[in-house]
Chain A
Amino acid sequence: MQIGNLIFILPALCMSVAAIIVLLLGVVASKRPHKGLDYFFPAQYAAPVFTAIVTGIAGWLAWTELAAIKAGAFTEQAVGLFVVNGHAQLTVDPFAAILSFIAFAGTLVVMFLSQDHFGEDMLHKAEYYSLLMFASVAASLAAAASDLIAIYLCIEFLSLTSYILAAFSKTDRRSAEAGLKYFLYGAACSAVMLYGMSILFGITGGNTALSAIAIGFKGELANSAAGWVAIMFVLVGLGFKLALVPFHFWAPDTYEGAPTPVTAFLSVVSKAAGLAVIVRFLTVVANPASPASSMWYWMLIVLTAVTMFYGNMVAIWQTNIKRMLAYSSIAQVGYLMIGVLTAMSSQVVPVDSFSAALRNNNKGAWDLPGVLIYMFAYLLMNLGAFAVVVVVGKRLKSEAIDSYSGLMKCAPFLASALAVFLISLAGIPPTAGFLGKLFIFGGAIMTGMDRHPELIVLAALGIINSVISAYYYLNVVRVMYFGFSGEGEAPAEPVRGTFAMNTVIAVMLFLTLAMIIFARPVSDMASSAVYSGLK
């Protein structure tokens, strides 16, 4: 491996160093409370500055990779790092580069949320911010991991830091319990995933790289019960990270109990990482082109449908806005999974790597670009909604939907921003969420008309679910504008966010609305992320 290739994981490397620097700031702070380095450059400012720089690098990397691909400079789309016997442990393709950018950008927004939520005098702030940075490193590496060892390490790294972050409000018992619940179920699911990986490792003749496993895992073996068990167990662990329905049981309590910025992190960045791994794993190893894998495919189709319905049906009855967003994010993962399944079903022959999978794919198809676009839209609208929840929750000391009644009168900017984010989550035009859903459902219907009619059914279920979700999203909007069940009494004093928070919300608001204007460039970019340069 050439040392120069390390530039492709430069953002993660920089972020690790920055996280250690932030950690050291905390050491300085605890010795000398009101002077020294921490006084002039405290962790809560240092961390976003570093993260902004790293996000810039990640964005630049994603951009140059796309540009180089368009110019034909890369003969091979994916750059393999740490190659063992011809199989890379990390594969940095534009798909990974874009998801890694999404992870860092999401972390940056979460840091602004944390500044507002915890305030200046937070205990152990250096440790908190450095853990967030480490978690983003894990998410960005997970997006590129293409080897069982690397996948396991990255997923565990992300999980372990998330457990700590969820339990970070030490004196708040709900936070501690959220952390404990998340930890116990998460550790059990990842142990099951590891057992599945060990079987996969054995029956494919001792391979850990996904591309090598794909070579061994086909034909009769892929049809066998042993292969079925192995993939099943691995999907348990990945499903847990994504909160797919049988493995969602931790999500509502953890989301409600964890500090709100951490909830935002779990619902966006952590899911982006899980999504990246599951896409890579499903398209390469459990690819439905081998006839047997249709078992997975059908199982996942059912789970996706159940996930959407479950998330939305339960979200309707929630009175706590964090809990409502938790259930709604379960449903959102269902929409994303439609895109993943479409990508899976586009395969016509078995492949041994992710880029080969894409090469076989129908060029110009909407599935994986749709997943990337929806993920980015989801980042904007979900983090935007959480930003408003943080600001309002801090000022009103309440997370109940009732307490948002009459918010329009006392905080017109926040209320209208939240309204836009919720409308976008519901997928109503002209918002980013609509664009994302258009790509995902459109892609599913296009592939479905070709040869997989079940995808059309899935897309139809997705549209029905969007309508259901509009009910409870718009209910919050109704409460904010017209008061709660008639007795709308506005909060006593006006609710105002800080300048920083208002700026963050305004930027997300702008992007949520502007994405549709740039629909063409966005879709071009996303599809060149996935298809261009493939020979």
Chain B
Amino acid sequence: MQILGFYITGYQVAFVILAGITLASAAMVVLLPNILRAAMFLGLSLFCTAGLYALMNAPFMAAVQVMIYVGAITTMIILAIFLSNRVMRIGFAQAIYNPLLAAGAAGLMFLFLFLTVVNSVWVKSAVAAGPARVGQDVPAVAQALLQPYVFPFELASVILLAVLVGAVVIAKEDVDGDS
């Protein structure tokens, strides 16, 4: 497909749409005053990120992203918001009160990151023109997890056990006088 003299592939169109939704809903996450809607938009943003992973030829990551991030984490956050709707009033002393100032700082940060990293000669020399076609699929991930990366894999299971037990202890309601 050729538009205004540029060759545009279907993948590029898909990228622009997915990236656009990802970024727009991410902006909603930080801008919306209603925290529940912000959390919903976080789910949308993470869902579209899964689409981006698919475009990078990483199907396993796309599936994990949808199942864990969208399916579990966002749901958990929304549930917690329902459980504690008054807690939003806990105010934090912010470093920057003025949203415009914060936006300026974030914008400068982006410009800085774009110029120094994203568009740097180092990144350009390190990468190829397209995503890998082999070696990024589910069997490859499974083999890597259970052979070279078995230590972080086992450590992650210990972390989940310890941390979830701790989270339950903190979150559960103690009956008075029960010791």
Binding site for B on A (CB under 8 A): 16, 19-20, 23, 81-82, 84-85, 89-90, 121-124, 127, 130-131, 134, 137, 141, 149-150, 153-154, 156-157, 160-161, 164-165, 167-168, 170-171, 179-180, 184, 199, 202-203, 205, 221, 224-230
Contact = CB atoms under 8 A, between A and B. Distances in A.
B68 to A, nearest CB: 16
B120 interface: yes
A123 B178 contact: yes
B117 A164 contact: no
Given A89-B151, A199-B117, A226-B122, 7 more contacts: A23-B165, A141-B155, A160-B159, A161-B162, A164-B170, A203-B120, A226-B123
Contact of B123 (A84, A179, A203): A203
Given A123-B178, A153-B159, A205 B117 contact: no
* Pairs of residues from A and B, 4 with the lowest C-beta to C-beta distance, nearest first: A164-B166, A225-B116, A134-B162, A84-B148
Interface of B: 90, 92, 112-113, 115-117, 120-123, 126-127, 148-152, 155-156, 158-159, 161-163, 165-167, 169-170, 174, 178-179
A42 to B, nearest CB: 12
A164 B170 CA distance: 7
A11 to B, nearest CB: 14
A90 B151 contact: yes
Contacts of B90: 180
A127 B169 contact: yes
B166 A131 contact: yes
Given A82-B150, A84-B149, A199-B117, A130 B122 contact: no
Contacts of B178: 123
Contacts of B126: 202-203, 205
Given A84-B149, A221-B122, A164 B116 contact: no
Contacts of B166: 127, 131, 160-161, 164-165
A331 B170 CA distance: 32
A167 B150 CA distance: 32
Nearest to A120: B179
A230 B117 CA distance: 9
A149 B158 contact: no
A161 B163 contact: yes
Contacts of A180: 90
B110 to A, nearest CB: 12
Contacts of A82: 148, 150-151
A534 to B, nearest CB: 26
B174 A164 contact: no
A131 B162 contact: yes
B122 A123 contact: no
B138 to A, nearest CB: 19
A233 to B, nearest CB: 10
Given A137-B158, A229-B113, A229-B116, A164 B152 contact: no
Contacts of B92: 184
B76 to A, nearest CB: 15
B167 to A, nearest CB: 7
A123 B179 contact: yes
Given A84-B149, A153-B156, A164-B163, A121 B179 contact: yes
Nearest to B174: A123
A121 B174 CA distance: 14
Contact of A153 (B123, B155, B167): B155
A19 B90 CA distance: 35
Contact of A156 (B121, B159, B161, B179): B159
A130 B174 contact: no
A471 B127 CA distance: 57
B162 A167 contact: no
A510 B66 CA distance: 57
Contacts of B121: 224
9 contacts: A81-B151, A90-B151, A130-B162, A157-B162, A160-B163, A161-B163, A161-B166, A164-B170, A202-B123
Contacts of B163: 157, 160-161, 164
Contacts of A229: 112-113, 116-117
Given A150-B151, A202-B126, A127 B117 contact: no
Contacts of B159: 153, 156-157, 160
B169 to A, nearest CB: 5
A473 B30 CA distance: 45
B157 to A, nearest CB: 10
B170 A168 contact: yes
A85 B113 CA distance: 31
Contacts of A16: 158
Nearest to A85: B148
A226 B120 contact: yes
A512 to B, nearest CB: 32
A154 B123 CA distance: 28
Contacts of A203: 117, 120, 122-123, 126
B174 to A, nearest CB: 6
Contact of A224 (B120, B156, B167): B120
Nearest to A203: B122
B30 to A, nearest CB: 13
Nearest to B148: A84
Interface hub of B92, B166, B174 (most chain A Cβ within 10 A): B166
A150 B116 CA distance: 27
Contacts of A81: 151
A157 B155 contact: yes
Contacts of B123: 202-203, 226
A89 B144 CA distance: 14
